[in-house]
Amino acid sequence: MSIVTAPSQEKKVRFNNGKNEFFTELRSRVDAYFAQKGAAKTANAEMVMKTIILLGAFVGNYLLILLSGWNLWVILGLAAFQGFLLAGIGFSVAHDAIHGSYSNNTRVNTWLSYTMNLIGGSQYVWSLSHNIVHHTWTNIHEMDGDLEVAPFIRLSPHQPLKKVHRYQQWFALPVYALASFFWVFVKDYKKMAAKSIGPIARKHPAREWVILFFTKSLYYTYSIVLPLVFLDITWWQFVIGYMTFHFMAGITLGIVFQLAHVVEETEFPMPDDQGSMENAWAVHQMVTTNNFARRNRFLNWYIGGLNYQIEHHLFPKICSVHYPAISHITKATAEEYDIPYNEHPSFAAAVSSHFRALRMLGRVEYKPVEAAPTLQVA
């Protein structure tokens, strides 16, 4: 039994890792794959090129908005595209770097992790709330902070059921649209000021407070101050453009992350009275996580393998560019050990499943359904 401490809880949560043959075998097969290919588990040329394209497009599109002198409708379209690029940088660059999977060189990972701050977030807060809390206690009520989007959104059957939840499938999308705006103006400060981030109680170093305020100031300067100075627009026109930018980023980020863990097939296990979980940690990740659209080349490129969330949760130190290849190994091994491999064949199917799950969570006690057969990926 391995012990995971939850300082803000009265008890500890223990995953049943005494019998973990599945993950032992899976790791062995994945290691053999990289050895046979003679490839590193970190970024390759494709990943580096994608990084250059996304960062270059983000800067270039920003300069077009600021200096082009085009009409307001064109600028509005560019603002929406900027939000789309912001989400792509978060998915495909910052995410891998903060996990330490982009490079074997820690300095490269560190510098690229600050692309999270470039787009208004905090790599430090993300490393705690995502890398540690979410990846350890996935879908566990009162521990996984990703289940706490808003008081009027119920993402776990263990959360109290309120009358307002009956309509959540209708207003969830506008809430997701505000995710980016709330993130850069409220969420990071709120998490830093709290006594704990999820179950992690920690006094944050003064250095991280300085970095937070400094990088937030830079973000507010280039995203708010400079456009107001350089663009010949009224304040209300700026507000429309700025919120369009955040709405696009928020919807993109919100939808993609929800498809990973809140769909009809995923489970929400809870520890028993002694704090013991039924499954080993790796099996817990399998039953609480979902893949989608493994054949979609654009999504594979744009969202940095986040449609391969199963592989990401099991191997967060492997760069996302390798997930399509090792997904075949994971799926085959899971089938051998009779462990669910949750996935949807398309993005649309996953979105539909998420909103059906929201509807069920708003009306009845949620029970996961068996995953439907999916096409094998060539």
Q: Report how far Cα 96 is from the mean position of its chain's Cα atoms.
A: 11
Which pLDDT does position 336 carry in this prediction?
Answer: 96
Which pLDDT does position 198 carry in this prediction?
Answer: 81
Written as tens digits, the pLDDT of the chain (378 aa) is: 222 333 344 347 889 877 689 999 999 999 999 999 999 999 999 999 999 999 999 999 999 999 988 899 999 999 999 999 999 999 999 999 999 999 999 999 999 999 999 999 999 999 999 999 999 999 999 999 999 988 899 999 999 999 999 999 999 999 999 999 999 999 999 999 998 888 887 789 999 999 999 999 999 999 999 999 999 999 999 999 999 999 999 999 999 999 999 999 999 999 988 888 999 999 999 999 999 999 999 999 999 889 999 999 999 999 999 999 999 999 999 999 999 999 999 999 999 999 999 999 998 766 666 654 443 433
Which pLDDT does position 378 carry in this prediction?
Answer: 33
Residues counted in the chain: 378
CA atoms 336, 318, 343, 1: torsion sign = positive
Which pLDDT does position 150 carry in this prediction?
Answer: 86
Answering whether pTM is above 0.75, one says yes
Q: Convert the pLDDT of each residue in 210-237 to its tens digit.
A: 999 999 999 999 999 999 999 999 999 9
Query: 343: which strand partners?
Result: 291
Look up residue 201 and give its two tokens. Answer: 């109680």
Which pLDDT does position 368 carry in this prediction?
Answer: 67
Which pLDDT does position 211 carry in this prediction?
Answer: 97
Residues whose CB is less than 8 angstroms from the CB of residue 79 and which lie 6 or more positions away in sequence, other chains included: 65, 241, 242, 244, 245, 248
Domain boundaries, the chain: 2-361
Q: How many CA atoms lie within 13 A of 133 on its CB side?
A: 26
